[in-house]
Structure 1
Amino acid sequence: MVLCTLLPWACTRKSVSFNSNPEQPIVAALGADTLTRTADSLNGKPSLSTARKVVITKEQERAAKEAEKEAQRKPKKKKKVFLGEKIKRGFAKSGPKGRNQVVEVFYFLKTPMPLNAYAPAHYYFDTKKHKILKLAAIEEDEPSLKILHGPYKKLQNNKVIETGYYALGTRHLRWERFDKNGVLLSKVHYEMGFPRDANVSYYGEDRSLINEVVPYVNGKLEGDYAKFLINGQADWRGQFENGKRVGVWSKYWGFRNRRRYEYKYGESGYDPEVTEPELIREFNRNATVIYDKEKNIDKRGQPEAEDRPGMRRSVPRAAPKVSPKRSK
């Protein structure tokens, strides 16, 4: 009896609602879809993506790609420029290896340029000899000679012993020398090769043609001396140290900057001054050596060494006298 009474109740179908609010009708519960939102539909239709699509023009797309490429590119190296000219770094070593070795760090022009003919001297880096050369003038272009232009530094035992600047092959701005302990030994200011305190005389009142450059540093003769003819060609070049002529002094023909005579003075300005210099070299008008004391060459008086038939040779005995320092 009991079994027959329970069986009908167990087989009866009953609707079950998942709505948490039993008072609301089932239809209302089924109508509210909690898994969809208005923002997830397009034109009232379900969308598989919740991201909004943005329409961009081709120009904007191209600009975005370029910006991305630019961000991926490595930053370009800045070109080295000094006084408006492109330069390249170089270095040279001299002396024994080790602590006493001298290292020079400098810059030179990438492309050659015309130089000032009135400059007392020009400085070059010889790529063949790997050393800095000081030359009064060169008659023709030499590919191995690079014009110094830019900062300069000389080091020994990792300590700076000299600093300065070159401009178009000439010393420029402030140059300083130090001892091994970093104590300042000397300081000289240059203006395109000339010491700032130099005496400069000119031909004529327009001051366009230089006659003579007498170097003075702190009231004493010091540095490169130069004397020119009225046509702009060099007449004499030499060097003073401690108020005395030192090294080799050159007398020129007066055209194409060709040397004629070379006289030798003392090695140092702190030794007794040489009053009668020694003739060590002589050249004819074709720049051919006709006398060289060191190489024991003497072709003077021979027909092939004559400059012009019947021309008398006048040999100066010494460099010209210099004018006294002008008062400021």
Structure 2
Amino acid sequence: MFLKFSKHIILFIGILLVFTQISLAQKKDRRDRQKKESQESQEMGENFDPLEIDEEFLKNDSLPDIELELSEEEITLAQQEENQKKRKNKKKKKKIYFGIKTKGGLARQGNESNTVMEVFRYIEKENVIKDAYQQEIYYYDVKTRRVRSKDYQDFMAMVKKNNPIYLLHGRYEKYRDRNLREEGYFYKGTKHGKWLAYDSKEIVEEKIKYEFGHTRETKIIYYDNAETKIKEIIPMVHGRMQGIYYQFYENGVLAVRGEYQNNRKVNMWREWYETRQRMRDTMYPINWWEEKEPSLLRQWDTKGYMTFDIDRGGKQNR
């Protein structure tokens, strides 16, 4: 019996020795790893350059995840504040166009079955673009409550008379019976950027790009190579003559003014002498598709005497 007991004791001691050796080996391995990591950490601290951080470094698991614990009420309030800021900023941006603060206007005409409504932004009339060659300056007439247009000279005459008008500037939309028919932007009274025209089903039927009142295709011909003396302004839309045409003498005096539609002359064409004296008024068909010969309405000599007037039977005597 003593021998059996001795065998058990010897076996137990042997097992204990094995576990002790394993434990000591594990401790040694941990000490070696810690020493190695400490050395690597020290080397990294000495050689660390923040400019050398790349995306892979930022993607590793060493970056801590920070989570803020917010209640549902706090999250809702934060979202409401953010949305309110966005609405305010959006509202502010809508009021300012091309760096100029504007006001909103509305013009309505027609009846219940045929209503035309124009929504626009406007500024003071004194801010009109300085360009004597402008064909159309758009403005809001306070007396008639209509959006109208005139050429630069006529518009400036109204400004001098202090007529109650405002200059269109910024977003513009035109509706007919609640359907959008036209939209675009004005810059100091002139069409600028992309303008779209729609049919009754709000399908785009025409797109024209403008640059400060002139279509981007408009051709300007000069007398000189330095391009300081304008000879002709030829309005072009989609490769065809469309709009108000101007011709000038070399001294800058207007020689001819008329309108083109689809490459054909329409409406009133006027000519002047170099002295600014009126020379001739000629009437062309109102629409480009009409097959009518032009009609001479009035004519003057260089001294200003009328030599022809269709309303007075034609040729005139002094």
- Aligned partners of 1:135 and 1:88: how far apart in 2? 21
- Aligned partners of 2:144 and 2:301: how far apart in 1? 25
Kindly name which structure, 1 or 2, has the bigger radius of gyration based on alpha carbons.
Answer: 1
Matched, 1:245 2:265: yes
Displacement after TM superposition at 1:183 (Å): 1.2
Displacement after TM superposition at 1:143 (Å): 2.4
1:124 is matched with which residue?
Answer: 139
1:154 is matched with which residue?
Answer: 174
Matched, 1:165 2:180: no
Cα deviation code 1:159-191 (max 9, x no counterpart): 110112222222211111111101111111111
Matched, 1:187 2:207: yes
- Return 5+ residue gaps in structure 2 as ranges: 1-87
Amino acid at match of 2:288: G
Amino acid at match of 2:195: W
1:277 is matched with which residue?
Answer: 295
- Return 5+ residue gaps in structure 1 as ranges: 1-74, 303-328
Preserved CA contact (<8 Å) 1:178 1:185: yes
- Aligned partners of 2:307 and 2:147: how far apart in 1? 28
Preserved CA contact (<8 Å) 1:121 1:224: no
Superposed CA RMSD in Å reads 3.7
* Match 2:111 to one of 97, 102, 127: 97
* Match 1:176 to one of 190, 196, 208: 196
Structure-2 change in CA distance of 1:230 and 1:152 (3 Å):
farther
Matched, 1:221 2:244: no
SS of residue matched to 1:149: strand
How many pairs does the alignment contain?
223
2:287 is matched with which residue?
Answer: 268
Matched, 1:236 2:251: no
Displacement after TM superposition at 1:260 (Å): 5.9
Structure 1 length-normalised TM: 0.57
2:42 is matched with which residue?
Answer: none
Cα deviation code 1:116-173 (max 9, x no counterpart): 0122332232222222333222263242343322222110111110112222222211
Higher helix share: 2
Cα deviation code 1:267-320 (max 9, x no counterpart): 212222x4423426989999xx999867x799x766xxxxxxxxxxxxxxxxxx
Structure-2 change in CA distance of 1:243 and 1:231 (3 Å):
same
Percent identity reads 27
Structure-2 change in CA distance of 1:214 and 1:184 (3 Å):
same
Structure-2 change in CA distance of 1:87 and 1:201 (3 Å):
same
Structure 2 length-normalised TM: 0.58
